[in-house]
Amino acid sequence: MKWSLVLLMAMSSAMPAVAVAQQAQSPAAATAQNTVSDATQKPSTTDSSDIAHYIIGPEDSLQITVWKEPTLSGTVPVRPDGRISLVLLGDLQAAGMTPMQLAADITQRLKKYVQDPIVSVVVLAVNSQRVFMIGEVGHVGAISMTAGMTPLQAIAAAGGLSPFAHSKHIYILRGTGATQKKIPYDYKKALKGDDKQGVSLQPGDTIVVP
CATH code: domain of residue 73: 3.30.1950.10
| Mean predicted confidence (pLDDT) in 50-60 | 81
pLDDT of residue 8: 40
Mean pLDDT rounded to a whole number for the chain: 79
Alpha-carbon Rg for the chain in angstroms: 32
Question: Residue 43 gets which letter from DSSP?
Answer: P
Lowest mean pLDDT among 15-24, 57-66, 98-107: 15-24
pLDDT band for position 74 (50/70/90)? Answer: very high
Q: Are residues 91 and 107 in the same domain?
A: yes
- Give strand ranges (E) for 68-180: 74-77, 83-86, 90-93, 119-125, 130-135, 141-144, 171-174
pLDDT in tens, 34-54: 433 333 333 232 334 456 688
Q: Are residues 137 and 202 in the same domain?
A: yes
In a domain, 103, yes or no: yes
In a domain, 24, yes or no: no
How far CA 175 is from CA of 59, 135, 172, 181, 182, in Å, comes to 16, 18, 10, 6, 9
Q: Are residues 82 and 145 in the same domain?
A: no
Query: Where does a domain end: 78, 109, 125?
Result: 125
- If one counts the domains in the chain, the total is 2
Q: Are residues 140 and 110 in the same domain?
A: no
pLDDT of residue 72: 96
Q: Are residues 92 and 55 in the same domain?
A: yes
How far CA 23 is from CA of 26, 27, 28, 63, 210, in Å, comes to 5, 8, 10, 54, 78
pLDDT greater at residue 147 or residue 175? 175
pLDDT of residue 147: 73
Query: Where does a domain end: 102, 125, 148?
Result: 125
What's the pTM? 0.54
In a domain, 19, yes or no: no
Which of 107, 166, 96 is CA-nearest to residue 137? 166
In three-state secondary structure terms, 94 is coil
Q: Are strands 171-174 and 181-184 parallel, antiparallel or unpaired?
A: antiparallel
Tell me the one-letter amino acid at 4.
Answer: S
Domain range for 53 is: 49-125
pLDDT of residue 20: 37
| Mean predicted confidence (pLDDT) in 183-206 | 84
Note the helical H segments in 41-144: 49-52, 99-110
Query: Where does a domain end: 84, 102, 125?
Result: 125
Q: Are strands 74-77 and 181-184 parallel, antiparallel or unpaired?
A: unpaired
pLDDT in tens, 114-167: 999 999 999 998 888 899 999 999 999 999 887 788 899 999 999 999 999 999
CA dihedral 63, 54, 95, 103 (to 10 degrees): 50
Q: Are residues 201 and 161 in the same domain?
A: yes
Q: Are residues 118 and 144 in the same domain?
A: no
Which of 116, 115, 128, 64 is CA-nearest to residue 92? 64
pLDDT of residue 189: 87
In this predicted structure, the answer to whether residue 178 has a pLDDT above a threshold of 90 is: no
In this predicted structure, the answer to whether residue 210 has a pLDDT above a threshold of 60 is: yes
